[in-house]
Amino acid sequence: MKRKTRFSFSTTHLIMLSFLCVVAVGSLLLWLPISSKSGQSVAFVDALFTATTATCVTGLVTLPTHATWSVFGQIVILLLIQIGGLGLITIMGAFSLMLHRKMGLGDRMLLRDAFNLNTLWEIGPFVRRVVLGTLAVEGVGALLYMLVFVPEYGWHGIWLSVFTAVSAFCNAGIDLFGDVSLSAYATHPLVNAVTMALIVIGGIGFVVWWDVLGIIKLIGKRRQPLAHLTLQSKIVLTSTAILLTLGCAAFLAFEWHNPATLGGHSLLNKIQMALFQSVTTRTAGFFTIPQEALTTPSALVSLMLMFIGGSPVGTAGGIKTVTFALLVAKAASAVHGKQRVSLFGRTVRNEAIGKAVAVCMTSFCIMALATLGLTLVSDASVIDILYETVSATATVGLTRALTPTLDTVGKLIVIVTMYLGRVGPISLAVAFTVGASKQNLIENPTEDVSVG
């Protein structure tokens, strides 16, 4: 008699299912008449789309958030954004800690995989610091927004400030200002500065937070405190600074005389608007200039920045800055005939390089399939479709006005793309490898092939 094979859920399966459950519950809540300003249920596909874009902290919307959803619906969306930014597993772990429940090995492994960490040590304190740090940063951001929004909108400005702060920190890009996002504040220094700061702080990753804070404490106590940064923090901070600077310079160059974007503004305003565009393409989704008005070179730069995205163990999407940096370093090593990849005087493990290749290729395949699908059901231009699919894959939320025009099939394609992009290509590959076989100890014969 054959023994039945027992299916067991891995931590990756549970993480994927947690996002599915949140999307399902959110869709049902948004489908209720109470969630709509009109008092009538919206189409279920739109409720599903909105729940997915909020949970996956993407920002693409088929219906205007401010005009469609009631206060109850907006609260649901905000909760979905917060859950999606931190992850349901993280929030459940935080509640367990609040209830003084002892965290078992299974819980620790689940949280380790949710944060993509390499150790089980100090998981509990790490989760506590992440949640408290998140609430603190969002709270400060909301207070700073109130300085602008309360005088302008009255008491409603408090809700606008809280919603915008959470959405910006979680890199969601969903707002309550209408179809023009933050365009009315394109030249407002405080709104720009707060929004960009929240986006970057949320996108650089929680691990980098504590590393940087630890280095700050060493200032004045040790020589060259920056040398004590971990390799990941050095890669994240360096690559983030380079990409933001190059992106800003590129947008300045390509949009300088464009009357629909930067043309006609002062030098300081041009720099401010170009920098905001560079920051928001790190998967934030807000915009101060219309994306459909960008020149073709600027649109291509935006596509590249969106595909790279933010950094690991944070709220941002994309293939991540560390992945991109490792691929560039590996290519440079191959050109120079080196077998090992070294960054900042440290050798990177081959496993990390292999994971970077897997993440990049899986994301590219998801994007390519989504682009093909939308091409079949939409009459939009290729650049507009690419903008949509890269934005969905990297959970960015920027669109060239294509999202509201999608039919039901198009919306379903984007929904699936946003989910796969948020869950993570490497998690997706692992999750569908049910009952992975044991490592094969027998090696096949080696033979060289021609490359390039």
pLDDT digits (tens, 9 = 90+) for 390-442: 999 999 999 999 999 999 999 999 999 999 988 876 565 555 544 444 455 55
Four-point Cα dihedral 35, 38, 39, 40, nearest 10: -90
Evaluate whether residue 95 is within a structural domain: yes
pLDDT of residue 196: 96
Q: How high is the mean pLDDT of the chain?
A: 85
Q: What is the pLDDT of residues 149-167, one digit of tens each?
A: 999 999 999 999 999 999 9
Evaluate whether residue 443 is within a structural domain: no
pLDDT of residue 387: 96
What are the backbone angles phi and psi of residue 283, rounded to the nearest 5°? 90, 25
Range of the domain at 285: 11-430
Q: Taking 90 as the threshold, does the pLDDT of residue 13 lie above it?
A: no
Q: What is the pLDDT of residues 135-147, one digit of tens each?
A: 999 999 999 999 9
Q: What is the pLDDT of residues 388-404, one digit of tens each?
A: 999 999 999 999 999 99
Evaluate whether residue 446 is within a structural domain: no
State how beta strands 341-343 and 346-348 pair.
antiparallel
Q: What is the pLDDT of residues 327-367, one digit of tens each?
A: 999 999 988 888 888 888 888 888 888 888 988 999 999 99
Evaluate whether residue 129 is within a structural domain: yes
What token pair was written down for 224? 């060259």
Evaluate whether residue 306 is within a structural domain: yes
- Name, in order, each residue with C-beta under 8 angstroms of 85's C-beta and a sequence gap of 6 or more: 57, 134, 166, 169, 170, 171, 172, 202, 315
Q: What is the pLDDT of residues 257-280, one digit of tens each?
A: 999 999 989 999 999 999 999 999
Evaluate whether residue 440 is within a structural domain: no
Per-residue confidence band for 1, with pLDDT thresholds at 50, 70 and 90: very low
pLDDT of residue 70: 95
* Host H or E run for residue 301: helix 296-308
Evaluate whether residue 2 is within a structural domain: no
How far is it between the farthest Cα atoms of the chain? Answer: 81
Evaluate whether residue 450 is within a structural domain: no
pLDDT of residue 291: 95
Instruction: Tally the domains of the chain.
Output: 1
Residues, the chain: 452
Q: What is the pLDDT of residues 80-107, one digit of tens each?
A: 999 888 865 566 565 555 555 555 555 5
Q: What is the mean pLDDT of residues 314-319?
A: 86
Considering the entire predicted model, what is its pTM? 0.88
pLDDT of residue 438: 46
Number of Cα atoms under 13 Å in the Cβ half of residue 328:
10
Could you tell me if 26 and 49 are in contact, meaning their C-beta atoms sit under 8 angstroms apart?
Answer: no
